[in-house]
Amino acid sequence: AALAESFARFLMLAPHEIEAARLTGLVHDAGMRLLDYGRLYRKADLSQEELGFLREHPAVGAAMVEPLLGSEIARAVLCHPERVDGRGYPNELRGDEIPLLGRLVQICDAWVAITDAASYQPSESPEAAIASISNAAGSQFDAELAGRFVEMVRR
């Protein structure tokens, strides 16, 4: 949430968009909590059935947060695992079909997954994370946002 807020500030988004980025960062994986998160989160080799189960988390999370935080944040929660190349889930959206908040939080989420020792994978250095995000710019991540994110973390 703090990283999403910082990135939104760096992008000079409007105050309400900065708050929406913070809230989306806070709740983007809320659906994981209802999907046996503790058993599946750190598991290295997920079966196809378990992967399918995990892929339900954006829809579950969006349904959970919409009554509390509104449709804009719910849509970002739903879309945060989408990829700009259309190979994401749950709806295989492409590029600007993915809301800005979803694209922004996706990059922040990846950064944390790569660099945080408490993540589901071994942590890597900030430079390795920068390389990963840069390499996925234009396929997994919005290329412009990925570039701006790298600029922010280097500062």
pTM equals 0.89
Which of 121, 81, 132, 139 has its CA nearest to residue 105?
81
Q: 85 pairs with which residues across the strands? A: 94
> Of the ranges 21-25, 33-37, 84-88, 99-103, which one carries the lowest mean pLDDT score?
33-37
- Annotate 8-24 with b (16+ C-beta within 10 A) or e (fewer): beebebeeebbebbbbb
**Over the stretch 52-105, which tens digit does the pLDDT of each residue have?**
777 888 999 999 999 999 999 999 999 999 999 999 999 999 999 999 999 999
Which of 41, 63, 64 has its CA nearest to residue 51?
41
Q: Is the pLDDT of residue 44 over 70?
A: no
Dist CA 5 CA 78 (whole Å): 19
